[in-house]
A and B are shown apart, each in its own frame.
Chain A
C-alpha cells in the first residue's frame, strides 16, 4: 500500500493504493473518476488515455506512483478546463463543453462511447500542439485509440469540424449530406 498525492484535473488528491496499481485503477476505483475506460489493460486499445502534463498517456501502463508530481487531466476535467478558459459558452445547450466534445457529439462519433474519452483526450492534445492538423496528422494522432463502432469516419469528421470551427471556417460535409441535398434539389 502506498500513499499517493496526485494532481488530477487541478485538484490535489490524496489517496492510498497497492503499490502495483496503475494510474487507471487509482483514477477509477479510488478517485471515482470512471470516465477513463479499461478496454484491455495492456496498452492495446487506448480507452484509458489520459493527459499527463498535456501529453496522451496510457494510464493502464502507468504506475500510479509515476504520476505523482505531474498534472493529470481526465475526461472529467475537459469541460471544467474549457469553462475556465472561455467565459463565452456557459448556459448553452450543452453547458459549455469543450469544442472537441461538442463536435464529437454533433458528428455522431459517440456511438457506444466507450473508446471516446481516450479518443477525445488524444484529439485535444493534438489540437493543443497542432491547431490546424492535416487528415494524416489526425489519423496518426488517433491511431493509438481503437474504436470498434464508427469506422473512425465520424471521429475524423468531428476533429475536422472542431478545427474548422476554431478558425471560423465551414465544417466538412460528408458524402451522404451532399447526396441528400442534391436529391432534395432534384425533387423540389
Chain B
C-alpha cells in the first residue's frame, strides 16, 4: 500500500501568500504570444504525413483489403491495415475491444480501416482513394432498444452472446417498501441526447523512431500514461523504449482520454518508414472519433413524504454506448453511483444497461455518466416540490445529506458547501422576490448536484501512487517541477507551481514546470474524473514539504538556531527572532545543497480505501466531492418556441480555491457547455448511421453572442483531505445547469420538457399538448391562472 499523507488544510507559513490569489497561469504568456507548441505545431525534418481510410458502412465484414495500388503511388511510403496492428486494446483493461485499424469488421461509419504515410497530405489523401476494400454489409443497429432485444448479428463477439456492453444493477435499502408507504410517488421518463466535446484543437499525433530504437510519441492526449501502456501492448514494444510527450493541448473535455487510432498508426508508420510521421485529423474525423456524452433513456420514480422528504429513488437506464466499450464499464456504474448526493434518501435502486450500437463510440464527456441521471432526477425533484407546494430551493435544503456523512450507496462524504451554494444562487438571482412574478414567458429554475474529485479506482489495478511529483533544485534559485499531470488548459501545471512556491516561500515565477513527458516525469494517471488538482496537488505538497525540511535544517544549522525560527518567505529565509539574519532563496538552496548533496525530492498521492463493500462499490468512490447549485433564468417565446437564457447563476463548492480566477473559468466554461448541449448541440446519425453534420457549423457551437451572462460564486468548504482543502471545479458545475434550465422552462410556460435538446419544435409541441390538456379539463380557469404568471 502506497503512502497517503494528509497534509492539513492550513498555509505552510501561517498565512497564504500565493494560494488563493489569482496569479497568472504558468503558460499564459506563451499562449498569448503564439509561442506555445501544440501537437500540430511540431515540424520535424523529413516528416511524413499520414491519413486514415474510414469505413463507409455502419456495420460490415471486411472481406479483403488490397493496398497495392496505393503503395505504388509515388510519394507513398507505407500503407498499413488492421493486420499490422491487430492487438486489441481499450482504456479499461477488462474490455479491450478496439484495434487501431479494423481487423475483421467495421462497426460505424468512420471506423478506421487503413492508414497511409506519404510525403504530404495531398499524396496521402490520393493514396486512400487507391485502397480497395471489399465489404459485406451487416445489419446495422442504430436504436439502442433494438440492441437490447436483438442478439444477432453481434457487434462484438463476446461471451454473453448479445449486444450488451455492461449491465449494473444495485439496490440499497427498501425501495418497494418506501414507494408503498410514501405520500407521493412521481414517475417519469427522460431522454438525454448525445453531444460531443468539440475541443477546438483536432486530435493530432507525431511519432519518431530514433536510430537507437526509442519511439517518441507527441500526442494531443489527456491521459499520457494510458497511451504509453497501450502503445507498448499494441506495438509489442518494451515500455521503457517508448516516450510519450503531451505538448500544449488545445482542449479536451474528456474527448482525448482514450488511446486513439492515430497514436498507434503514426508509431507503426514511423517504425516502418524510419521517418517521423504526423497525423492530424480533420474536424470531420474528430466528430467520428467522438467518445462524447452517452445518449440515455432514463425512467425515474421518486417517492416522498408530504413534507417533502425523499424516501426512495428508483432508476432504470438504457445507455447507448455506440460501437466500442471505451470507458463504458465506468459510465454504466457512474450513471447510478454518482446520484447519491447531495441529498439523503434511505432507499435507492438503479438498473443501468449499456448497449453497443453502430454509431461513433461514446465515452467520457465533462461530467462523465452522471450529467444525464442528474438531469432526470433534478427535474423529478422539481415535480415533487410542485406537487407538494414546496419552494424548489427549500426541498433541496430539506433533503441535504449534510457534511461528513455516508451516502445510501456507501460513499464517504467529507466537506460539503451545498447549502451555501443554494444560498448564493438564491440571493444572486433574487429568487424569493422574482420567482413567480416575472412576466409571461420568463422563468427561474434551480437544481443542485455533486461530483467526484478523482476516484480511487485506478483503471488498472495496482498499488503504486496515483499521482507523482519530482522536484529538482538549482543553485541559481530555480526549482524545476516534473509533473506527470496532463495540463489540458485547466491549469494543472500552474497549480503545481503555486503550491511549490507557497511551500518554499518563493516567487512563483522562479518555479518552472515540465509536465507529461514520460521520460522526465513521474507517472500521473491523467486528466480525467476531475482528479488532478486533488491528487497532484497533494503529491506536490508532499514533495515540497520534504524539500522544505532539508532547506530549513540547513539554514537553522548555519544560524545555529532552532528550526522553528526559520521561515521561508517571499524569496528569503528569515529568522523569526532575529531580523538581522536573512538569506535569499538562492543562498538557502546553496546551504542545503552543501549540507545534503544534490537537492531534489519526490512526492506522491494515493487515495485511502474508499467505497461501499460490494462489487463496483469503489467506482465513483472519491476522496472528496464537489457541490454545485444553479439558478437559470429563461425566456420562452411561445410563438416560435425559441428559448433564450439571459442569465445563469452558478455557485460551486470547490473546497479551497487555489486560484479563484482559474476556478471561475472552469465554472463558466462548464455552465456554457451545459446550456449549449441543452439548447443547441446534438451529436446524432441519420438512418444509415451517417453523422448528421460533422462540422462546427452544423453541430452549432454557441458563439459569444449565444452564451448567457454567467454570474459565478465560489464556495469554499475546505476539505480535510484536499491540498490546502481544495476539491474539483472542472466538471461538477456543468451538471445542474441542464435541469435548472428545464425547471426554469416549466416556471416560465408550464411545460415539463423531459427530452433533450430543448428545440423550438419540442417547446411548441409541449405547449400545444398543454393547451389541449387544459381545454379537455374544461379550459378557461387554467388559462386565466397562467396569464397571471402564477405557475410555480
Residues on A lying within 8 angstroms of B by beta carbon are 18, 28-29, 32-42, 44-45, 47, 74-76, 78-79, 93-95, 97, 101-102, 104-117, 120, 138-140, 142-156, 174-177, 179-180
Query: Cβ of B704 and Cβ of A39 under 8 Å apart?
Result: no
Interface pair A108/B22, CB less than 8 Å apart: yes
Q: Does B732 contact A (CB under 8 A)?
A: no
Across-interface contacts of B705 in A (CB, < 8 A): 139-140, 143
Interface pair A176/B28, CB less than 8 Å apart: no
- Expressed in whole angstroms, the minimum distance between the Cβ of B15 and any Cβ of chain A is 13
In the bound complex, residues from chain B placing their C-beta under 8 Å from that of A144 are 703
Interface residues of B in 664-699 (CB under 8 A from A): 664-665, 668-673, 695-697
Tell me the bound Cα distance from A116 to B283 in angstroms: 18
* CB <8 Å contact, A105 and B25: yes
Whether A32 pairs with B707 at a CB distance below 8 angstroms is no
Most chain B beta-carbon contacts within 10 A, residue among A37, A107, A111, A152: A111
Tell me the nearest residue of chain A to B659, going by C-beta.
A108
CB-CB < 8 A to A105: which residues of B?
24-25, 28-29, 31-32
Is the Cβ of A110 less than 8 Å from the Cβ of B664? Answer: no
B282 within 8 A of A: yes
Indicate the member of A47, A152, A177 with the most B CB atoms within 10 Å.
Answer: A152
Beyond A146-B696, A149-B489, whether A110 also contacts B31 by CB under 8 A is yes
Which single residue of chain B is at the shortest CB-CB distance from A146?
B701
Known: A32-B43, A97-B29, A120-B32. A108 touches B661 (CB 8 A): yes
A42 and B38 contact, CB distance less than 8 A: no
Are A112 and B704 within 8 A (Cβ)? no
Is there an interface contact between B34 and A34, defined as CB atoms closer than 8 Å?
A: yes
Knowing A39-B696, A76-B34, the reply to whether A151 touches B200 (Cβ < 8 A) is no
Residue B90 is within 8 A (CB to CB) of chain A in the complex: no
Query: Which among B25, B37, B712 is the interface contact of A34 at CB below 8 angstroms?
Result: B37
Q: A78 vs B378: C-alpha distance in the bound complex, in angstroms?
A: 48
Cross-interface CB contact of A151 among B201, B488, B669, cutoff 8 Å = B669
Query: Are the CB atoms of A151 and B671 closer together than 8 Å?
Result: yes
Check A151 against B36 for contact (C-beta < 8 Å). no
Evaluate contact between B31 and A149: CB separation under 8 angstroms: no
List the A side residues contacting B424 at CB < 8 Å: 179
Residues from chain B with Cβ under 8 Å of A180 in the complex: 660, 714
B40/A174 in contact, CB under 8 A: no
Known: A34-B41, A143-B703. 12 other contacts (CB 8 A): A32-B43, A33-B34, A37-B38, A97-B32, A101-B32, A105-B31, A108-B662, A108-B664, A110-B32, A114-B38, A145-B703, A176-B660
Contact (A113, B31) CB under 8 Å given A29-B43, A148-B198: yes
Chain A residues within 8 Å of B25, by CB:
105, 108, 110
Q: Does chain A have a CB within 8 A of B33?
A: yes
> Which partner residue on chain B sits nearest A144 by CB separation?
B703
With A120-B32, A146-B200, A151-B672 in contact, do A111 and B713 touch (Cβ < 8 Å)? no
Which residue of chain B lies nearest to A177 when distances are taken between CB atoms in the complex? B660
Q: Is the CB of B714 within 8 A of A176?
A: yes
Q: Within the assembled complex, what's the spacing in Å between the Cα atoms of A107 and B664? A: 10
Cα distance, A155 to B702, chains bound together (Å): 14
Confirm or deny: B711 has a beta carbon within 8 angstroms of a beta carbon on chain A: yes
Cα A94 to Cα B705 with chains together (Å)? 31
14 contacts between A and B (CB under 8 A): A18-B122, A38-B202, A106-B28, A112-B199, A112-B249, A112-B250, A112-B489, A113-B489, A114-B251, A139-B705, A147-B200, A149-B489, A175-B428, A175-B713
| Inter-subunit contact B668/A153 (CB<8 Å) | yes
Pair A150/B31 contact, Cβ less than 8 Å: no
A149 and B696 CA atoms in complex are apart in Å by 15
| Closest CB in chain A relative to B488 CB, distance in Å | 7
Chain B: interface residue count, which band? Answer: 35 or more
Shortest Cβ distance from residue B598 to the other chain A in the assembled complex, whole angstroms: 31
For the complex formed, measure the closest distance between the CB of A110 and the CB atoms of chain B, giving whole angstroms.
Answer: 4
Min distance, Cβ B743 to any Cβ of chain A, angstroms? 21
Instruction: Pick from B28, B488, B672, B710 the residue with the most CB of A within 10 Å.
Output: B28
A44: B residues at CB distance < 8 A: 283, 695-697
Verify if B324 is at the interface (C-beta below 8 Å from A): no
The residue of chain A having its C-beta at the shortest distance from the C-beta of B34 within the complex is A35
Instruction: Point out the residue from A152, A154, A156 that lies within 8 Å of B664, measured CB to CB.
Output: A154
**Does residue B288 face the partner (Cβ distance < 8 Å to A)?**
no
| Interface status of B35 (Cβ within 8 A of chain A) | yes
Q: Is the CB of B668 within 8 A of A151?
A: yes
In the bound complex, do residue A176 and residue B712 qualify as a contact, i.e. CB atoms below 8 Å apart?
yes
Q: Which of B41, B663, B665 has the most chain A CB atoms closer than 10 A to its own CB?
A: B665
Q: Report the Cα distance A42→B41, complex, angstroms.
A: 19
**A32 neighbours in B (Cβ, 8 Å):** 43
A47 CB, nearest partner CB in chain B, Å: 6
Taking CB as reference atom, which chain A residue is nearest B648? Answer: A151
A67 to chain B, nearest CB (A): 18
Chain A residue contacts of B712, Cβ below 8 A: 153, 174-176
A90 CB to closest chain B CB (Å) equals 15
- The 5 A-B pairs at the shortest CB distance, nearest first, are namely A35-B34, A151-B672, A112-B489, A114-B250, A113-B31
Chain A residues, CB < 8 A from B714: 176, 179-180
Q: Which of B200, B428, B662, B665 contacts A115 (CB 8 A)?
A: B200
Measured between C-beta atoms, what is the minimum distance from B679 to chain A in Å?
14
Whole-angstrom CA separation of A110 from B35 in the bound complex: 13
> Quick check: A113 and B703 within 8 Å, CB to CB?
no
* Complex Cα–Cα for A153 and B711 (A): 9
Q: Is B353 in the interface zone, CB < 8 Å from A?
A: no
Q: Given contacts A45-B200, A112-B201, A114-B201, are A179 and B713 in contact (CB under 8 A)? A: yes
CA distance A155 to B248 in the complex (A): 20
A142 touches B489 (CB 8 A): no
B490 contacts chain A at the CB level, 8 A cutoff: yes
Q: Known A37-B250, A110-B25, A175-B428; judge A148-B33 contact (CB<8 A).
A: no
Expressed in whole angstroms, the Cα–Cα distance for A134 and B27 within the complex equals 30
What CA separation (Å) do A75 and B711 show in the bound complex? 31
| Chain B neighbourhood of A139, CB < 8 A | 703-705
Report the separation of the CA atoms of residues A154 and B489 in the bound assembly, to the nearest whole angstrom: 14
Q: Which residues of A contact B697 (CB under 8 A)?
A: 42, 44
Whether B33 pairs with A101 at a CB distance below 8 angstroms is: yes
Q: Is the CB of B704 within 8 A of A176?
A: no
Chain B CB within 10 Å — which of A41, A153, A180 has the most? A153
List the B side residues contacting A145 at CB < 8 Å.
Answer: 703-704
Question: Which residues of A are found within 8 Å of B509, using beta-carbon distances?
Answer: 93
Decide yes or no: A76 and B32 within 8 Å by CB, A175-B712, A179-B714 being known contacts. no
Q: Is B253 an interface residue (CB 8 A)?
A: yes
Q: Do B283 and A39 touch across chains, with their CB atoms under 8 A apart? A: yes
Query: Are the C-beta atoms of B248 and A113 separated by less than 8 Å?
Result: yes
Instruction: Give the residues in chain A near B669, CB-CB below 8 Å.
Output: 111, 148-151
